[in-house]
């Protein structure tokens, strides 16, 4: 079985609240990295790793909110070191009941 990792480019929806929302889903990581500053890498269904092409522009992940690409609910940061914004792992509590 062939599985491809899915990528969800993010846009900043509210810069004061550090709210990010996914735009679309693609399997083309190179194109995402060329055109977007932040994106989610869907490693397993419902689990997302935050990736950034410009790390310095990312806010503290403790203050960031990211919407679930599937249901739009707020993703939960399940990374132990919540002050490292890049490579933080998020899960959706609604999609992973």
**Residue ranges in contact with Zn ion by CB under 5 A:** 68, 70-71, 92, 94-95
Least separation in angstroms between CB 30 and Zn ion: 26
Least separation in angstroms between CB 63 and Zn ion: 21
Contacts of 25 (CB under 8 A, 6+ apart): 6, 7, 8, 42, 69
* Residue 65 backbone dihedrals phi, psi, to 5 degrees: -125, 140
Q: Which is nearer to Zn ion, 40 or 92 (CB)?
A: 92
- Strands 65-66, 76-77: pairing is unpaired
Q: Which is nearer to Zn ion, 58 or 67 (CB)?
A: 67
Least separation in angstroms between CB 55 and Zn ion: 26
Q: Which is nearer to Zn ion, 23 or 95 (CB)?
A: 95
Rounded to whole angstroms, the Cα distance separating 80 from 78 reads: 6
């Amino acid at each position: 079985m062939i599985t491809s990792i899915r990528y969800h480019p993010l846009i900043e929806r509210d810069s004061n609240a550090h709210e990010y929302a996914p735009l679309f889903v693609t399997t083309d990581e190179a194109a995402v990295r060329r055109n977007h500053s932040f994106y989610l890498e869907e490693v397993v269904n419902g689990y997302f790793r935050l990736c950034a092409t410009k790390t310095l522009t990312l806010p503290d992940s403790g203050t960031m909110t990211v919407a679930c690409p599937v249901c739009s609910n707020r993703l939960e940061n399940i990374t132990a070191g919540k002050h490292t914004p890049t490579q933080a792992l998020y899960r959706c509590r609604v999609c992973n009941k």
